[in-house]
Amino acid sequence: MIEVKGVTKYYGTTLAVDDVSFKVDRGEIVGFLGPNGAGKTTMMKVLTCFLAPTRGTATIDGHDVLDNPRRARQQVGYLPENTPLYDEMGVLGFLSFMAGLLGVPAAQRRARVDEVIEICAIESMAHKDIGELSKGFRQRVGLAQALLSDPPVLILDEPTSGLDPGQIVEIRELIKEIAAQKAILLSTHILPEAQNTCNRILIINEGRLVGEGTSDELLDMAAGEERYTVTFAGGLGPDEVRVSLGNVPLIAGVDLLSANGEMRFRVSAERGTDLRAQLFDFAVGRQLKLLELSHATTSLEDVFLRLTGGIVTQEQAPPAAATIEEPPAGEPREAMGGESDD
């Protein structure tokens, strides 16, 4: 339903998206994950025909965004990061107005508006002005307008940005409910949202696609070794315990984390190695009290940090943009080609 091949986008001499390729099939929710400034929104603007790619191709349900932008747009329901709503309009009036703009036939318009109101569970808000709504309900109204033409593709840019935890769960479940018959590309930099909502995840950093796969596949990629945290108490000194631990079979590395009465170590081994029995026997053999033994599992955050070299925070500053030579003359295509919108 979405096919991107080698898409590159410049802003002047600044490279925003660099040779990105991926696909999204019907029934999939694909997370587009990356730090602020990584190129997620630019890629989504290309897919929704707001921006032309400098190089490469992108198609929506078989329609090229350059050669046939009108047909490509008709296949997409788009929810931008900052939901564009008219605060002075009522919810019902706004959705009716948008249905007309999106080409829903007049005879079917009220029935379709009622349908998306039910899907998005905003019946209680239908007769209120949009300016009176909470952020969560505003997002639901934005999602309702994206569904009005019953498009086969949904592109959602940070759909839970600024919501409280309860609202995030509600929007996440709503997206899952409508996903069965659609292809959904969901941009986010919130790691739990990607892991809990998406079938597959794309990770972009500084304009390049640096990781792709299911959550489990990405976790396997990052899990280079097994790590344990172990805490002892007893008569031996921390240096003596550290040296002795290093001589235990299968243990590849030992780091002393703290030694304030209790001795806490991080112990590593090759991937797939189970050290629990060895560490227990070590404590018994050295007459140490085993106070803690935990296995450190790899998280999606570990994958993200490894692939982007960044820090996961919603207030993160955008990374420095890559700048390269001016693209060859004639290559940037700043206006959408294809049939006229007039």
- Residue 250 domain boundaries: 225-296
What CATH number does the domain containing 8 carry? 3.40.50.300
Q: Which of 2, 111, 116 is nearest to 57 (CA)?
A: 2
In whole angstroms, how far apart are CA 205 and each of 159, 191, 322? Answer: 20, 15, 11
307 and 210, same structural domain? yes
CB 213 within 8 Å of CB 222? no
Three-class SS state of 127 = coil
Q: Dihedral through CA 210, CA 15, CA 192, CA 30, nearest 10? A: -70
Q: pLDDT tens-digit profile of 87-96?
A: 999 999 999 9
258 and 199, same structural domain? no
251 and 215, same structural domain? no
Burial class (CB in 10 A: 0-12, 13-18, 19+), 236: middle
Contacts 24+ apart (CB under 8 A), 311-316: 312/35, 312/189, 312/191, 314/189, 314/190, 316/35, 316/36, 316/189
Task: Indicate if the pLDDT at residue 43 is higher than 70.
Answer: yes
165 Cα distance to chain centroid: 17
Average pLDDT rounded to a whole number, residues 243-265: 92
Task: Indicate if the pLDDT at residue 320 is higher than 70.
Answer: no
In a domain, 124, yes or no: no
In a domain, 282, yes or no: yes
Q: How sure is the predictor about 223, in pLDDT bands with cuts at 50, 70 and 90?
A: low
% of the chain surpassing 90 pLDDT: 62
In whole angstroms, how far apart are CA 141 and each of 86, 108, 117, 157, 338? Answer: 11, 19, 8, 15, 32
Full-model pTM: 0.73
How confident is the prediction for the chain on average, in pLDDT?
A: 86
pLDDT given for residue 83 in this prediction = 85
Q: pLDDT tens-digit profile of 289-302?
A: 999 999 877 677 77
Three-class SS state of 22 = strand
pLDDT given for residue 170 in this prediction = 84
- DSSP letter at 121? T
The values of phi and psi at residue 205, to 5°, are -145, 130
How far apart are alpha carbons 305 and 222 in whole angstroms?
10
220 vs 37, more confident: 37
How far apart are alpha carbons 3 and 56 in whole angstroms?
11
69 and 156, same structural domain? yes
In a domain, 339, yes or no: no
